[in-house]
Amino acid sequence: MHEPVDLSLDHEPIFIGIINIKGHLETRHVQDDFKPTLASATHIYSSASVPHFIMSPNSVLTPKEKEHFLTHGWVKIPGAFTKEQADSITHNVWTRLGMSPDDKSTWTSQRINMPSHKSFDASELCPRAWAAILELCGGEDRVHDEAKMWRDSLIVNLGTPEGEGKPVAPQDLDGWHVDGDFFIHYLDSPEQGLLVIPLFTDIVPHGGGTMICPEAIPKLAKHLYDHPEGVDPRMGLRTDPDFKQENNLDWFNNCAKSCTEFVEVTGNVGDVYLLHPLMLHTASDNSLRKVRIITNPPIFLKEPFNFDREDGKYSLVEQVTLKALYKERLEGWKITTPTREQVVPMRIKIQEEMRQKELERLEAIKKQEESEKAAGSQVVTAAA
């Protein structure tokens, strides 16, 4: 059994958990030998164009954190919110699920993408993480105001009895994807400006953490660069007969199979991971069967990404994309369709049905509590 690996960036040296090709957890020093494809792109991406980070009065990310994001496409903000804040959001999760935390026989689903009932302000829940999001995206003026309103659409990973104690190698996982099932994807799509993963429970290695693949960012970027006409949420081409159909994740899964380096998202409740929008990722198998709860609020931009800025003021997210393409600028690049299309995913209907069932469970609990309270009041009155 491997000890949990600390992924925080606020002390030296920096170590991260790497899942190797055999599915075993390794600990590596980032600055010594972790050089995925995204990092190696620096050799072609002119060193003269790589910015020297200077902490401005409005900067919340340290130079080290910015460099880590540029090199690996992700950064972790440790302790962004408290356990008490997390509990205020997840306190009724078992009622909503219709399961018991103490009886695994009630855990009838491996992973549940729950619908939402309420929203909360990310700038109040996790102010440093929210400020970091704005900084990565190029500033507050580039991020849509509504993006800070996150919802309790929790994602729960409970594992399965059959998979308990049997970790699955990353390449053998079959849920690889990038987020954004509700729009046609372009290289500059504003609908998914950043991938965000807040941790609402502690997550240890093999405990259901999201598996990410920084090595695949250049592969995704090239596919979108080569298809300015847009591809569907599963990277299918417009010429494909099943364009826009939610039939499989083959493109993503094959992409993951071609990679060799993976990172498992682990940490403490309250940590927030910020990842490039083209970060290939998947739920892992949770062979420990420890309850894992996260969410993934979309960060949508006011305008599409711009990879041809006259002033050269590219956001850190845009810089990662350019580096992944071995480019300093995409002069003249633009999409070739007159409008950006939306897609209505099947999960909308599924989650609405789930929401109605959750409301019924919550209402039943409320009535039971009111009944018990009323009965207690009658007993007190009689005793008096």
Q: How far apart are CA 276 and CA 287, in angstroms?
A: 27
Q: What is the pLDDT of residue 12?
A: 30
Confidence of residue 177 (pLDDT cuts 50, 70, 90): very high
pLDDT in tens, 138-168: 999 999 999 999 999 999 999 999 999 999 9
pLDDT in tens, 251-281: 999 999 999 999 999 999 999 999 999 999 9
Greater confidence, 86 or 30?
A: 86
Confidence of residue 17 (pLDDT cuts 50, 70, 90): very low
The domain ranges of the chain are 15-345
Q: pLDDT > 70: what percent of the chain? A: 83
Q: How far apart are CA 265 and CA 18, in angstroms?
A: 10
Q: How far apart are CA 129 and CA 267, in angstroms?
A: 15
Yes or no: say if 370 and 364 are a contact pair by the CB < 8 Å rule. no
| Residue carrying the six token digits 């729009």 | 183
DSSP label of 144: -
Average pLDDT across the chain, whole number: 87
Q: How far apart are CA 377 and CA 379, in angstroms?
A: 5
Yes or no: say if 48 and 247 are a contact pair by the CB < 8 Å rule. no
Q: Is 30 exposed, middle or buried (0-12, 13-18, 19+ CB in 10 A)?
A: middle
Asked whether residue 380 carries a pLDDT value surpassing 70, the answer given is: no
Q: Of 218, 190, 212, 221, which is closest to residue 274 (Cα–Cα)?
A: 212
Confidence of residue 365 (pLDDT cuts 50, 70, 90): confident
Q: How far apart are CA 298 and CA 196, in angstroms?
A: 7
Q: What is the pLDDT of residue 58?
A: 73
pLDDT in tens, 31-77: 333 334 565 554 334 433 444 444 455 789 999 999 999 999 999 99
Confidence of residue 383 (pLDDT cuts 50, 70, 90): low
Asked whether residue 5 carries a pLDDT value surpassing 70, the answer given is: no
Confidence of residue 197 (pLDDT cuts 50, 70, 90): very high
Q: What is the CA radius of gyration of the chain?
A: 22
Q: Of 198, 199, 265, 210, which is closest to residue 7 (Cα–Cα)?
A: 265
Q: What is the pLDDT of residue 52?
A: 42
| E strand map for 184-232 | 195-198, 211-213
Q: How far apart are CA 33 and CA 152, in angstroms?
A: 39
Greater confidence, 3 or 125?
A: 125
pLDDT in tens, 182-192: 999 999 999 99
| Residue carrying the six token digits 């990404």 | 305
**Alpha-carbon distances of 347 from 34, 125, 172, 181, 261, rounded to whole Å:** 37, 27, 24, 9, 30
When pLDDT is averaged across residues 112-132 and rounded to a whole number, the result is 97
Q: Of 288, 354, 291, which is closest to residue 106 (Cα–Cα)?
A: 291
- The full DSSP string for 300-322 is -BSS---S--TT----HHHHHHH
Question: Which tokens hold the place of 16?
Answer: 């991260």
Would you tell me which CATH number, out of the four given (2.60.40, 2.60.120, 3.30.450, 1.10.10), belongs to the domain 15-345? Answer: 2.60.120
Q: What are phi and psi of 198, to 5 degrees?
A: -80, 140
Asked whether residue 371 carries a pLDDT value surpassing 60, the answer given is: yes
Q: How far apart are CA 240 and CA 242, in angstroms?
A: 5
Q: What is the pLDDT of residue 24?
A: 44
Q: What is the pLDDT of residue 56?
A: 54
Q: How far apart are CA 337 and CA 229, in angstroms?
A: 6
Q: What is the pLDDT of residue 47?
A: 36
Characterize 109-148 residue by residue with b for buried, 16 or more Cβ atoms within 10 angstroms of its Cβ, and e for exposed.
Answer: ebbbbbbeeeeeebbebbeebbbbbbbbbbeeebbbeebb
When pLDDT is averaged across residues 79-106 and rounded to a whole number, the result is 97
Q: Is the peptide bond before 63 cis (omega within 30 degrees of 0)?
A: no
Q: What is the pLDDT of residue 15?
A: 32
Q: How many residues are present in the chain?
A: 384
Asked whether residue 28 carries a pLDDT value surpassing 50, the answer given is: no
